[in-house]
Amino acid sequence: MNALVHFVQAVRQSRSGRISLNIVTGFLVLALIGPWIAPYGPFERVYDGAGDLVRLSPPSAQHWLGTTNLGRDVLSQMLWGVRSAMIIGFATAFGVVAIGVNIGLVSGYFGGRIDALMMRITDIFLGLPFLPFIIVILSITERNTTTIIIAMTLVMWRSAARVIRAQVLSLKQQPFVAAARTTGGSNATIIYREIAPNIMPIALVNVAFSLAWAIITEASIGFLGYGAAKSISWGTIIHDAYASQLMYQAWWWVMPPGIAIMVLVSSVYFLGRAYEHVINPRLARQ
Amino acid sequence: MRQYILRRCWHMLITLFALMTIMFFLFRLLPGDPAMTVISSAMYPKAQEAMRAQFGLDKPLLQQYLIYLQNLITFDFGYSFHSSRSVSELLGGRIVNTLVLILPSMILAYLLGAVLGALMGWYRGGRFETAMVLVFTVLQAAPVFWLGMLAILLFSINLGWFPPGHLVTPGMFVNRDLWMYLSADFLHHLALPFIVHTSYQIAFPLLLMRSSMLSTAGEDFVEFARIKGLPERRILFRHAARNSMLPVATTIPMILGWALAGSVVIETVFSWPGLGLLMIEGVQRSDFPVVQAAFYLIAVLTILGTFVADILYGILDPRIVYD
């Protein structure tokens, strides 16, 4: 909680940080209330007064972002999609960093054989082609939010682990670690009480970049047709437009999800960078 | 140096071996029995047994594993469930198609990204530079498949400058040989996916180079070069940019691996018949021998690409110590 307060205070120091924070907060609010304010359900077929399906209607007062070939309201799909983007994005980002932090801490702290073994395993995961691997897993298992999060976490923790380990290696040399050791602290105490709080900032930067990457990856999975079966995501909206071959006529169908991803992900990038500049003043020397 | 290369080779072999093992278990976890896609339960039990024997599925797991390893090493991927042709036959040209799109585009992205990033880091602080940072961050945040769709919409459908996908005009080439890859028709088809992929990939090296330049610009040796009275351009490219290149060059192996893995997406948008598209088609048809082969080859290319880039980096920067 303290780390979060510090994060918010830190990113608010710069203008790009403030703007990005507002945008991300806005999306978080939409994730909470989106399904309530959405005029229609994500898969609801909309009929007009005469009882005809409203197919491929361009944006109008009735449908701000138009409708799809199956008469679904694009704005409603977008609003429902915020939630799945946020849930999958944040769950993956925290999963990735949780694994990365633990592996990085243990590997960096103990060094030697444990470190060698763990880094070898990390290298093997680095060799896995990430998107094909996720697709293979999702073609084997059931496709729902949980399996997507697990599949993505499985291939994304590897870079976080390396960054954290490098940080732990340099922290280990600091006097406070030696002090904790002489006062008889156990390994677990030193790792989680002394070193872990000091890697929180870098872990938070990793959460931000993982979040950005997870949102793009989730959209890619959806676009390729492997999104969660029973829910809507921005990637699946683009997939439906692409698969129906109507995407080049119905611009209102394809533009919103792409723009939403672009705005959200670049804000998250800017947040990560703003925070990085505060915790690492060398970067800010401009 | 020699020891570095040898150790790197050894590590690559371990990674390849681990990859094959992971794949063996992964593809045997498939829903139900993968053999059931070809062996129908309506067949006589005797016939089913005969087919199991033919696929080697009656042997103990360990033996299956060894045979499997041998097949992967010799690039023998069996037969496609879908078309009954051998998988190797289907793979023909696919690897080349992927590499011909991804590699030149990555090289160009890194070269252009380094030069532009160096200029941006050097002449920092202006309105123009701030706008460029914003543009490239947003570009990096855009899903590449969506950028591809926009490019098709604008350049193929509205302006008619480029064909909207595929390797060549269908029916134009009987033989897929070197001449095809050198033909104007092929280059015309290559242009759009190439431009989209390059402009998407350029953002990362560019932004990294820029921030690397920002910290180099304040270093003593740059000050010193100024005091010596060297011309500005010489200081920029010979001194500052050269030293800022290192952190950018370190990322080449990783990003190359990402780009090869990401070929799945760009190839799908442009119907580009590379390994990525082959894999997606295979998954859609439950054609597991094809999926397995495509996945394996993408992984091998990733691992090889990382390896080569690592070695080159080790040669470029003699300070690197391998631990």
Using a CB-CB cut-off of 8 Å, the residues of chain A touching B302 are 127-129
Q: Which of A18, A11, A70, A19 is nearest to A40 (CA)?
A: A70
Determine the residue among A123, A131, A249 to mutate to test chain B binding: the one whose Cβ has the most chain B Cβ atoms within 10 Å: A131
Phi, psi of B2 (to 5 degrees): -65, -40
Do residues A244 and B177 lie in contact, with contact meaning Cβ atoms separated by under 8 Å?
Answer: no
Q: Please name the residue of chain B whose CA is at the shortest distance from the CA of residue A270.
A: B137
Using a CB-CB cut-off of 8 Å, the residues of chain B touching A253 are none
Cβ contact B143–A247 (<8 Å): no
**Cα gap B29→B33, rounded to integer Å:** 8
Do residues A46 and A72 lie in contact, with contact meaning Cβ atoms separated by under 8 Å?
Answer: yes
In a 3-state reduction of DSSP, which class is residue B86? Answer: strand
Cβ contact A140–B302 (<8 Å): no
Phi, psi of A190 (to 5 degrees): -60, -45
ipTM above 0.90, yes or no: no
List, in sequence order, the alpha helices (H) in chain B: 2-28, 45-55, 61-73, 87-91, 94-122, 127-141, 144-151, 178-182, 184-201, 203-216, 220-227, 232-234, 242-250, 252-269, 275-284, 288-316
Show pLDDT as tens, one digit a residue, over chain B (323 residues): 778 788 888 888 888 888 888 888 877 766 545 555 556 666 677 777 776 666 666 677 788 888 888 888 887 777 777 777 788 878 877 888 899 999 999 999 999 999 998 888 878 777 888 888 899 999 989 999 999 998 988 888 888 898 887 777 777 776 777 777 777 788 888 889 999 999 999 999 998 888 888 877 777 777 777 788 778 777 777 777 777 887 787 788 778 888 888 889 999 999 888 888 988 888 888 777 888 888 888 888 888 877 887 777 777 666 655 44
The partner residues of A73 in beta bridges, in order of sequence, read A67
- What DSSP character marks residue A58? P
CB atoms within 10 A of CB A246: 16
Chain-centroid distance of CA B63 in Å reads: 33
Residues of chain A with pLDDT under 70: 1, 281-286
pLDDT of residue B323: 44
- Residue ranges of A 216-235 with Cβ closer than 8 A to chain B: 216, 219-220, 223-225, 235
**Cα gap B290→B187, rounded to integer Å:** 28
